[in-house]
Amino acid sequence: MDNQNMVNQTPVVENKPTKGGTILFCIWVIAAVILIQVGVSIIAAIPAAFKAFQAAGGDMTLYQQEYTRIATEGPFLTIAQFVASMVAAIVMVIWYYRGYVKKDKEAGKYEPVLPKLKDVNGVLFFVIGTVAVWALACLLQIAAATLFPGQAEMMNNALNLSLGGNVVLGLISAVIFAPVCEEVAVRGIIVQRSKKVFTIVGVAIISAVLFGVFHMNLIQGIYVLPMGLLWGYVAYKYNSVIPTIICHLVNNLIGMTIASYINPDESVVIYVVMFVVLAAIAAFFWTRSNLSKKTEQPLEEA
């Protein structure tokens, strides 16, 4: 009887994820986001297909031509991108909340992020650091475009078509929905899973590499790497996606506004100076923040 009681009282040990399984899971998260966006874009194309069918009057050759014309126009692509980004953001937020935040609340481990943001030096670090890595990303973009001009042209055409058809919808997609969707997926779900088996260095690298893969083009895949490293570090330290959503929003807003006023002939010098000066300032605030303090356990999730 005593032996039976001891067996019944033995705690259940949760199986720790493996590194290989974790990497496959992280890849699946990226694939899931892409599949959601593609699926929503296909559904969004149904009205265009119906409009083309009406205009063709039953002529399939004319229908194909008309549908191609409509589907490759800026307004249609911008609307499709807007809807796809919105739906993907909603799905990722629900996944992250139910899979991590809700479980932490039920376990009594949840800690809101707002008190952590009272560390002004920490906030200044990740905001200024984001502008610094934006400048570094611009330098990498220039270098990558020089090495791969064809890829750069394809990327610019795709961005202009998907975001330029409607200025308002394009801005909302790039500055709100994209940061929320990508940060919750990469710096939320992926970071929360990967930190169970990887150190902060491994988590940041996984975050950066998969962030690059997610963009599905060589140029962006290269220049988003420093962003991914910084934001992966920030997400790990704060154990929250809120700071990195702020970082991503700032980054995209700069890219869609201030960047257009920088003289291309002087851009390299400007970006180098921006990166060096702002990185130094960000490092200064980091040394004064709570982020620089070593802790045995990461901050609780928020």
**Amino acid letter at 65?**
Q
Q: What tens digit of pLDDT does each residue of 116-132 get? A: 999 999 999 999 999 99
Mean pLDDT of 151-175: 80
| Encoded tokens for 157 | 């055409």
What is the structure's pLDDT at 302? Answer: 44
Longest dimension (CA), the chain: 84
What Å distances lie between residue 58 and 45, 65, 69, 98, 231, CA to CA?
Answer: 19, 12, 17, 48, 52
Residue bearing tokens 């502008």:
131
DSSP single-letter state for residue 175: I
> Which of 213-217, 252-256, 273-277 ranks highest by mean pLDDT?
273-277
Does the pLDDT of residue 283 top 90, yes or no? yes
What is the structure's pLDDT at 297? Answer: 44
Q: What is the pTM of this model?
A: 0.86
Q: Name the pLDDT band for 12 (thresholds 50, 70, 90).
A: very low
